[in-house]
Amino acid sequence: GAGVSQSPSNKVTEKGKDVELRCDPISGHTALYWYRQRLGQGLEFLIYFQGNSAPDKSGLPSDRFSAERTGESVSTLTIQRTQQEDSAVYLCASSLMPRPNTGELFFGEGSRLTVL
C-alpha cells in the first residue's frame, strides 16, 4: 500500500481480555517495528522483524505480549490478559533497509488501546 496501515485505530477493552493489533507495512519493506507510546511519553521499542523472523524481541514487557509476521508483510501484536498499564498507543513502522543500515522509518497512525 501507499503507507503503513494499522487497525483498529481505537480499541477499548476490559481488563483480562486479549487484544490483537494489526499492521500492514509498505509493500517491499523487509524491516518492521512495533513501538508503544504512553500518554505524553516517548516511544518504547517493543520488537523488530526482519522478514518473518524477530531477531530482537528485547522490548516486549512481559510474556503476555507476543507478535508475529507472515508473508514478509502483515504483522500482528497480541496482548493477552490485558492490564490497565497496557493502555497506550501502539505504533508500527516499516523500513526498506534492515539493521544495521536502518534508514527512515515510515510510521502508521497507531492503534490506541484503552484497558478499563
Partner 1 sequence: SQQGEEDPQALSIQEGENATMNCSYKTSINNLQWYRQNSGRGLVHLILIRSNEREKHSGRLRVTLDTSKKSSSLLITASRAADTASYFCAPNQGGKLIFGQGTELSVKP
Q: Which residues bind partner 1 (CB under 8 A)?
A: 4, 33, 35, 41-43, 45, 48, 56, 91, 93, 98-110
Q: Which is nearer to partner 1, 4 or 79 (CB)?
A: 4
- The angle formed by the CA atoms of residues 62, 109 and 6, to the nearest 5 degrees, is 65
- Contact present, 108 and 6 (Cβ < 8 Å): yes
Nearer residue to partner 1 within complex by CB, 14 or 28: 28
71 vs 103 by CB, closer to partner 1: 103
* Shortest spacing between CB 23 and partner 1, in angstroms: 11
Q: Nearest Cα to 79, choosing from 51, 53, 31, 111?
A: 111
Least CB distance from residue 4 to partner 1, whole Å? Answer: 8
| Shortest distance in whole angstroms from residue 66 CB to partner 1 | 20
According to DSSP, the β-strands at 31-37 and 88-95 are antiparallel
Question: Of 3 and 16, which has the nearer Cβ to partner 1?
Answer: 3
Say how far apart CA 106 and CA 110 lie, in whole Å: 12
